[in-house]
Amino acid sequence: MFARMSTPGAIPPPAKLHSAEYFGEQRDFWWNPDYVALMAERWRLDGVRMALDVGCGVGHWGRVLLPHLPAEARLFGIDREPAWVKQAAERAARAGFGERTSYRLGEAEKIPFHDDVFDLVTCQTLLIHVRDPRAVLREMMRVVKPGGLVAVLEPNNMAGSLVLGSTHFRAPLDQILDAVRLYLTATRGKENLGEGNDSIGELIPGYAAEVGLTDIQVHLNDRPSPLFPPYADRAQEALRKQVLDWDERDFWCWGEAETRRYFLAGGGSEGDFERLWKRALAGSHEIAAALRAGTEHQAGGNVGYLVSGRKPG
With 50 as the cut, is the pLDDT of residue 299 above it?
yes
Count of CB atoms within 10 A of residue 97's CB?
17
pLDDT (0 to 100) of residue 19: 86
CATH of segment(s) 20-310: 3.40.50.150
Question: CA-to-CA distance for 242 and 225, rounded, in angstroms?
Answer: 12
* Three-state helix/strand/coil letters over 129-178: HCCCHHHHHHHHHHHEEEEEEEEEEEECHHHHHHCCCCCCCCCCHHHHHH
pLDDT (0 to 100) of residue 24: 86
Average pLDDT for 159-176 = 93
Coil, strand or helix: which one is 236? helix
- Nearest CA to 285 out of 109, 167, 173, 165 is that of 167
Strand partners, 235: none
Average pLDDT for 145-169 = 95
With 70 as the cut, is the pLDDT of residue 243 above it?
yes
pLDDT (0 to 100) of residue 64: 97
Strand partners, 219: 306
Q: Is the peptide bond before 230 cis (omega within 30 degrees of 0)?
A: yes
pLDDT tens digits for range 6-51: 333 333 333 468 888 888 898 999 999 999 999 999 999 999 999 9
pLDDT (0 to 100) of residue 249: 94
- The fraction of the chain above a pLDDT of 90, given in percent, is 90
CB-based contact 110:87 (threshold 8 Å):
no
Question: CA-to-CA distance for 116 and 237, rounded, in angstroms?
Answer: 43
CB-based contact 85:104 (threshold 8 Å):
yes
pLDDT (0 to 100) of residue 265: 98
